[in-house]
Structure 1
Amino acid sequence: MAMNVATGAMGSLLPKLVELLKAEYKLKKKVREGVESLEKEMRSMQSALRKVGEVPTDKDNEQVKIWAGEVRELSFNMEDVVDKFLVRVDDGSEPAAKSDKLRRLTKKMAGLFTKGKARHEIADAIEKINKQVQEVASRRERYNVDNIITTPAAVTPIDPRLGALYTEVTELVGIVGKRDQEVMKLLSEGDDMSQKKFRIVSVVGFGGLGKTTLVKTVYDKMKGDFDCKAFVPVGRNAEAKKVLMNILLDVDMKNILHDLGMEESQLTILEEKQLIDLLRKGLENKRYLIVIDDIWDEKLWRVIKYAFSISSNSGSRLITTTRIMSVSKSCCPSTIGTIYPMEPLSNDDSKRLFHTRIFSQENGCPHEFEEVSKDILKKCGGVPLAIITIASLLASDQRVKSVGEWHILLQSIGRGLTDDPSVEEMLRILSFSYYDLPPYLKTCLLYLSIFPEDHEIMKDKLIWMWIAEGFVQCGKTKTSLFEVGETYFNELANRSLIQVVSDGGRAYACRVHDSVLDLICSLSSEENFVTVLNGIDDNTPSESNVRRLSLQKSIKGEDQTACLEYVNMLQVRSIATFQSSIGGMVPFPRFVVLRVLELTGCNFQGYNNLNLRQLGSLIHLRYLGLSGTGIFELPEEFGKLQFLQVLDLSGNDSIEELPSTIIELRKLMCLLVGCEYLTLPDGIGNLASMEQLDMNYGEGDSVSILKELGNMQRLRKLGIRIFSLNLEEQQAFVESLEKLTNISSIEIWISPMSIYYGGLMDLFGECWMAPRCLCEIEIRSENPVFSKIPAWAQIGSLEYPLLLGADGFRCLTVFILIGLLRQIVFQPGALPKAEEVDIQIALQFAKEEAAGNSADWFELAIENLLSLRKVTVAFSRCGVTVGEAKQAEAALKNTLCAHPKRPSFDICFYQNIPE
């Protein structure tokens, strides 16, 4: 593989070095000068590391890799030193309230000697680190690092797409499936008028899905029907001028060049605008088919698109492929473009491809290979590149390997263990997506190797773990860390590197395809980024420090010593367990620099030796995940975790109260309770850094808890389970909500066992004004909680039919309206970003409200929703005939089939059709 170097702890270290220079830390002049020197040198090394991380495989250099590894380890060690100092001189507090000033003053006086000692120790540590930095800097010069990483490649690597461009028809069995017919239909369907219009299809999906093979198949089948044709590969870091030249040469512009008195060799002297003008002139009044394969950059597309006239009525077609959704959207104007998301092969096509490659025929798989074959195909996940690669391993050396060898290979898929040239080639193709990432996204992607294969990774959990690791930085913006982390998550999804799991149009989790996981684990192992202990491929390095530890199997007492025998616990920053029982194996106090501790799902019940009080000694801890662990109380020692940012206690129904010391955690940004009977202590308003809070409120709880919610000015997400709420408590709740100007999501659950009064939350409905940043509000109850519709829930005027115009819901991406009994009409400009619509319509009322009884009485005007991808409509058939119901269904289907985005749709009926 290449020099796939992440920047270590640089992203979080450099801001901390700047922090150290602040006057409040009272460093001596000599120490300040040492820190300034360190910051300058490390920033230079960070720049070099980023360049090293962009070096392709053909320029691999062992000395540079060694140097980069030294810098990475040095950055980790340096951050540990800085953090130890910051922890000892900073108690993590914001300015104290009057009521506890005396207690804090006493605490600070007691810590004066500790702080003095800490300043003396950091002076010694800075001096020592400076010597190490100078040694690494001298090796940088000695190894000629900067020259090596800037020298152009001596040999141009072979384009991995060549195989797809020249695949024989006989080799396409199972690869394309029915997908070529689907793309051809998108390019050719419609009446004579629409056939003449310019049309674009953009195929999008992650590497290895067969995009190039698919569009080449379509191109070969259709090119005979066009006057001009071109198939132009692009790739990463392409220049617009070169792409335009290749299109010109491929569409055979010799006549145009001849008329201009130009030779092909003279094209190189033309500017981009001249090439665009030349192309437009040559393609004018001609019907052309052009494929632009593997576009990586929106900026590139914004240049080359001007070569094509979208107002042309000659029936021209343009096909693009990309791994990046935002590029695909850029290629497809709403009126003429269609995005074709490339899906993995079906089970049948996967099986056909796999068996044909190994046994030369689709049905040639011997009985003893069938089960392991199914398991292997499941891991390949329908990715042709993975299937072909694994098939080549199993049928190498002119023989089919034994069943035992198949099982051995099965165990290694997905963890970066397979060592074979064909696998290296597969990883190289996939690695293009990795190298195209900015440095901060490379780190976030590698972090996914801490999760097991086929694991559903919760979105919020992942982002909070990134934050705790220091991967997420706000820079000079006022955006919250979590919101920045969300952009990281969305960008990885946009680049097809993670598969988003959604519910109701909202992403709540992601998965990593085994092929991508193979790449990530290979890179992670090479960089000593994550150490995995799973009993299969335990990769504990014997010489390097373990920084992040992923425990993926149950470890009993007798195996504890062997499991951690080679782990230097003094350096471990993260521990994540994905097993039902850890047997009390983790000696928490020995992990002195631990920042992330994820124990979700571990069963602590029955392990008396597991002392949660020990967690209080982990003073560097930022993230503590105890969800579903079976714990029944939290010790007061948790109040010592002054730098804790995330505490997840969900799924522990035995916990009834939090320790009073929890209000000392003034850097806490996320508190997930999720325990039905757990109540918050008074003073919760001290947690002014809180951004996400999950809580309970019931009879007997102090109303001050609701009042103090208003102190959490940074709160973005609030989830609250209400068991009782009287008028005074309603008023306190509403007054606090009015102060939460950054709130974007509110979820309220009213217990069916609550003390219920009619109009339980009318005050909330009448008095609260939703802030502009509110994106989501969900209220769940088995009983009505409002006696009338809240003002903030009304959709414009309640006239019928309900008209949705261009003035509202400009940012809405998912529109769900359940229980609507009337007609709804989407006016031009309505819901411009809505991609998913889910509505219920009573046909009887829709018919009554239509003007007259004309044949086209049913009309949604859904064609006005220009971003539409998915439509779900449920018709109520009461009060209309069978013919009228079918008439409405046909009208809607015709509209959706003619929609420029070709959205998927599901139309169903409920209730009986009257005869």
Structure 2
Amino acid sequence: MKSSNSLMERGYLIIIDDIWDKEVWKLIKCAFSKKSPGSRLITTTRIVSVSEACCSSRDDIYKMKPLSDDVSRTLFYKRVFSQENGCPQELLQVSKDILKKCGGIPLAIISIASLLANNHQMKTKHQWYTLLNSIGRGLTEDQSLEEMKKILLFSYYDLPSYLKPCLLYLSIFPEDHEIMRDRLIWRWISEGLVYSDRQETSLYELGNSYFNELVNRSMIQPIGIDVEGNVQGCRVHDMVLDLICSLSSEENFVTILDDTRRKMPNSEIKVRRLSIQNSKIDVDTTRMEHMRSLTVFTSDVVGKVLDISSFQVLRVLDLEGCRDVSDVGYVGNLLHLRYLGLTDTRVKDLPMDIGKLKFLLTLDLRGSEIEVLPSSVVQLRRLMCLYVDDDMKLPTRIGNLTSLEVLDNLGLSDVDLDFVKELGHLTKLRVLRLDCDGFDDSLGKALEESISNIYKLDSLVVFLRNGLINCLSEDWVPPPQLRRLAFPSAGSWFKTLPSWINPSSLPLLSYLEIKLFEVRSEVIQLLGTLPALVYLQILDYYVYRKGHEVEAPVLSSGAALFPCATECSFHGIGAVPSMFPQGAAPRLKHLWFTFPAKWISRENFDLDMRHLPSLQRVEVRVTTKGASRQEVDEAKAALRAAAEDHPNRPVLEIGIWW
């Protein structure tokens, strides 16, 4: 209380470093008065949820970016050589490679630099390369790195018990590998690392929360953040990978064979999970009888060094990217298999006895050479996730797969009415992506009824190659939980906006990609009332195809519309930026639109964008058909002037389509 009263009497600027717990922050903040105008508290943390607790607004959170290459180099050289320009010529390349592994993280740069500066034996280029090759493999053992390891270990031991094995699991993947989120989550589920006693709990959603928690705790680096803010994948920083590889080895969690570890560890311990990252390995298969997981990143070992058919208790078999793999006739005997990944292999056929895999949860066939799936696939009643290519033919009675949650890229161009009706039995589907050339009326009606039965559907993507979209009629009732709806083909469109696209029918819709034959102001007005809409892509098909030849109507939206939109993409629509009045689209950060340069001479064509307060980036494609060189130059100049007039000075990218 005494310190609080003292702070009330004078202003203060206080920095509190490295807060780990929200409850601790609640105690700390009690010491600071809210009645000290002009005073500021700055806190640092590695955990996103803690940063949110420390701030009254998310706008007050600054996420530190990695150091630039120049700053990283300066920090590194000054620590190792005492001056910025002190690096010998023969060490320039290896130091550049070491800095790349540090990834702009100050702690990593300082720790490695301290090791090199303090160790008098680390002077030759060969010794530097030895250090470089040990980073990220669990092989770095030096007292100079102990402080960094202590900090990383503190982060690891602070993880809840359910996250520790999920993080260690990432040691399966090679350094710098881009690990896609869904692949990882389905593997976690197959290994039993994601588990719930409650039947109503979605294991995928639970696994997704685990993934996001690792991102929020800065244990993994996010990649590919989509327009809705969802992280599509991750990388593991080399220093974190170094730690988890070491821990995985100590706990016999994962066995790694790569270019530095070509033989099994000299131990009697049985292999539980094996990651093969190099073809020049020596494998002792006698110790693999209890192996539960096999991940291969190089084709040469499959069938030559490894006899996969002998691994009878295997749960996960992931051969993604093994282009030399063409025969998997043995998989029908792997009765405990839960995950089978054949993405980007040359597998042409699945064995008929694949139906014996009663525990299989995930089957990923994308990019393989399979044309027809065997009829026994419909016996996989526990299958939750099926990835196929649109030209793969699925068997009849697909409705037997009643546990299916994801059915991605199903081709409907050569199916009958019964097959489409079977889709209606897949009532647990969350994600459905369809690809087809077109529908007759009976198939369209059957598809509409089937999708209506899938009440848990979260994402629906329909790729109709050409023509009018007639598979979802005006009186269709969409699934109430639908969040993502897309019709991505450039050659298909709705005649008008379907009446079921409205706030009451789609209260959770956050992503919409649609093409209409004609877009009017009332369409924009209606779409602007969708309460959860974050992303909108809309195209006026007629104007887009005709371009400068037609007079595009100048559209407008009302104030307070598009309350959640952060990214919008408009094509074939006149005066895009200025159609948002003051108060509309307050969160819009990224605006993408296309217009003919010929329109720039029209009196009502207004590019003003000052009323979009959150705008950060504007991408424009200017088509030149029918326009003079002067009109093209005027269009570019008008766009630059509009961007410069905006208080945020948004990044402007102009593309010219000749």
Normalising TM by the smaller chain, what interval? Answer: 0.7 to 0.9
Residue 617 (structure 2) pairs with residue 906 (structure 1) = yes
Residue correspondence of structure 1 range 791-802 to structure 2 within 5 A: 791-793=499-501, 799=521
Residue 671 in structure 1 maps to residue 393 in structure 2:
no
2:400 is the counterpart of 1:686:
yes
Q: 1:873 to 1:763 in 2, by over 3 A?
A: closer
Question: 1:554 corresponds to which letter in structure 2?
Answer: S
- The question of 1:343 aligning with 2:343 is answered no
Taking the aligned partners of 1:860 and 1:842, their CA distance within structure 2 comes to 23
1:615 maps to 331
Indicate yes or no: 2:524 matched with 1:780.
no
Rate the CA distance shift 1:692–1:886 in 2: closer, same or farther, 3 A: closer
Between the aligned partners of 1:779 and 1:713, the Cα distance in structure 2 is 22
What does the per-residue CA deviation read over 1:119-167, in whole Å, with 9 as the maximum and x for residues that have no partner?
xxxxxxxxxxxxxxxxxxxxxxxxxxxxxxxxxxxxxxxxxxxxxxxxx
1:659-738 aligned at under 5 Å gives the runs 659-674=374-389, 676-738=390-452
Residues 847 and 550 of structure 1: is their aligned pair in 2 closer, same or farther, counting only changes over 3 Å?
A: closer
- C-alpha contact (below 8 Å) 2:292/2:315 kept by paired residues: yes
- CA distance 1:600–1:359, change in 2 (3 Å): same
C-alpha spacing 1:785/1:822, structure 2 compared with 1 (3 Å) = closer
Unaligned runs of 5+ in 2: 505-518, 541-553, 623-631, 639-658
Residue of structure 2 in register with 1:762 after alignment: 470
- Name the residue aligned to 2:551: none
Cα deviation for residue 695 of structure 1 reads: 4.3
Identity of aligned residues (%): 44
Are the counterparts in 1 of residues 576 and 607 from structure 2 also a CA contact under 8 Å?
A: no
Write out aligned runs for 1:727-876 (5 A): 727-751=441-465, 758-759=467-468, 761-793=469-501, 799=521, 808-810=530-532, 812=533, 814-819=534-539, 822-824=555-557, 827=560, 830-831=563-564, 836-840=566-570, 845=575, 859-861=581-583, 864-865=586-587, 870-872=589-591
1:93-138 C-alpha deviation (Å, 9 max, x unpaired):
xxxxxxxxxxxxxxxxxxxxxxxxxxxxxxxxxxxxxxxxxxxxxx
Matched, 1:460 2:190: no
Partner of residue 93, structure 2: 371
CA distance in structure 2 between the partners assigned to 1:474 and 1:492 by the alignment:
19
Work out whether 1:516 is the aligned partner of 2:240.
yes
Offset of 1:589 from its aligned partner? Answer: 2.5
Q: 566, 574, 577: which is aligned to 2:296?
A: 577
Separation of aligned partners in 2, 1:543 and 1:668: 36
The alpha-carbon deviation at position 803 of structure 1 amounts to 5.8
Instruction: Please state how far the C-alpha of 1:861 moved relative to its aligned partner.
Output: 2.8
Out of 139, 153, 177, the residue aligned to residue 431 of structure 1 is: 153
Work out whether 1:330 is the aligned partner of 2:46. Answer: no
d(CA) in 2 for partners of 1:847, 1:743 = 33
Aligned-partner residue type, residue 497 of structure 2: I
8 Å contact from structure 1 (residues 692, 718) kept in 2: yes
Does the 8 Å contact 2:221/2:234 carry over to 1? Answer: yes
Change beyond 3 A, Cα 1:862–1:289: farther
Aligned residues of 2:437 and 2:464 also touching (Cα < 8 A): yes
What's the counterpart of residue 548 of structure 2?
Answer: none
Q: SS in structure 2 opposite 1:762?
A: coil
SS at match of 1:439: coil
Q: In the alignment, is the contact (CA less than 8 A) between 1:742 and 1:771 conserved in 2?
A: yes
Q: Aligned residue pairs: how many?
A: 594
Partner of 1:319: 42
Moved more, 642-651 or 427-436: 427-436
| Structure 1 contact 660–681 (Cα < 8 Å) conserved | yes
Q: 2:170 aligns with which of 448, 458, 464?
A: 448
Cα distance change on mapping 1:539 and 1:432 into 2, 3 Å: farther
Matched residue, 2:138:
416
TM-aligned CA deviation for residue 750 of structure 1: 2.2
Offset of residue 581 of structure 1:
3.2
Calculate the TM-score normalised by the size of structure 2.
0.83
Cα displacement (A) at 1:689? 0.6
Paired residue for 1:355, among 72, 77, 94? 77
Instruction: Supply the AA of the counterpart residue of 1:373.
Output: S
Cα displacement (A) at 1:488: 0.7
CA distance in 2, matches of 1:425, 1:567: 40
Q: 1:764 Cα deviation (Å)? A: 0.8
What is the identity, as a one-letter code, of the residue corresponding to 1:591? F
Q: C-alpha separation between the residues in 1 aligned to 2:463 and 2:572?
A: 29
Question: CA 1:826 to 1:321, structure 2 compared with 1: closer, same or farther past 3 Å?
Answer: farther
Question: Which secondary structure state, in structure 2, belongs to the residue aligned with residue 767 of structure 1?
Answer: coil
Report the CA distance shift for 1:807/1:840 in structure 2 as closer, same or farther (over 3 A): closer
Q: Which amino acid aligns with 2:287?
A: N
Displacement of 1:801 after TM fit? 10
Once residues 301 and 780 of structure 1 are traced to their aligned partners in structure 2, the CA distance between those partners, rounded to angstroms, is: 46
Report how far residue 496 of structure 1 moved. Answer: 1.2
SS of 1:597's equivalent in the other structure is strand
Counterpart amino acid of 1:287? Answer: G
Q: Are 1:532 and 1:539, in contact at CA under 8 Å, matched by a contact in 2?
A: no
Query: How far apart are 1:306 and its partner, in Å?
Result: 4.8
1:412, distance to aligned residue in structure 2 (A) = 0.5
The one-letter code of the counterpart of 2:298 is Q
The structural deviation recorded for 1:683 is 1.0
CA gap of 1:366–1:816, structure 2 versus 1, over 3 A, is farther
Change (3 A) 1:369 1:706: same
If the length of structure 1 is used for normalisation, what is the TM-score? 0.60
Q: What secondary structure does 2:211 align onto?
A: helix
Which amino acid is the alignment partner of residue 345 of structure 1? L
TM-superposed deviation, 1:646:
0.7
The answer to whether the 8 Å contact 1:459/1:507 transfers is yes
> 2:260 corresponds to which residue?
536
Query: Distance between the aligned counterparts of 1:347 and 1:884, measured in 2?
Result: 47
Alignment partner of 2:496: what SS? coil
Q: Quote how far apart the aligned CAs of 1:718 are.
A: 0.8
Larger RCO of the pair (alpha carbons < 8 Å, separation 6+): 1
Cα 1:879–1:288 change in 2 (3 A) is farther
Q: Please report how far the alpha carbon of residue 395 of structure 1 lies from its aligned counterpart in structure 2 after TM superposition.
A: 2.7
Whose helix fraction is larger, Structure 1's or Structure 2's?
A: 1
| Aligned residue among 21, 31, 41 for 1:297 | 21
Q: Is the 8 A contact 1:823 1:841 kept in 2?
A: no
Cα shift readout 1:176-234 (whole Å, capped 9, x = no counterpart): xxxxxxxxxxxxxxxxxxxxxxxxxxxxxxxxxxxxxxxxxxxxxxxxxxxxxxxxxxx
Decide whether the 8 Å contact of 2:255 with 2:275 is kept in 1: yes
Structure 2 distance, partners of 1:549, 1:431, is: 24
Partner residue of 2:277? 552
- 1:840 deviation in Å? 4.9
User: 2: distance between equivalents of 1:359 and 1:712?
Assistant: 65
Q: Is the 8 A contact 1:679 1:695 kept in 2?
A: no
- In the alignment, what sits opposite 1:651? 367
Aligned: 1:565 with 2:287: no
1:298 CA drift (Å): 2.4
Identify if the C-alpha distance between structure 1 residues 397 and 693 changes in structure 2 by more than 3 Å, giving closer, same or farther. closer
> Against the structure 1 CA distance between its residues 764 and 882, is the aligned structure 2 distance closer, same or farther, given a 3 Å change threshold?
closer
Q: Which amino acid aligns with 2:329?
A: R
Provide the residue aligned with 1:22 in structure 2: none
Alpha-carbon distance between aligned partners in 1 of 2:578 and 2:387, rounded to the nearest angstrom? 50
Structure 1 or 2, whichever has the larger Rg, is 1
Q: Contact (CA 8 Å) 1:467, 1:482: kept in 2 or not? A: yes
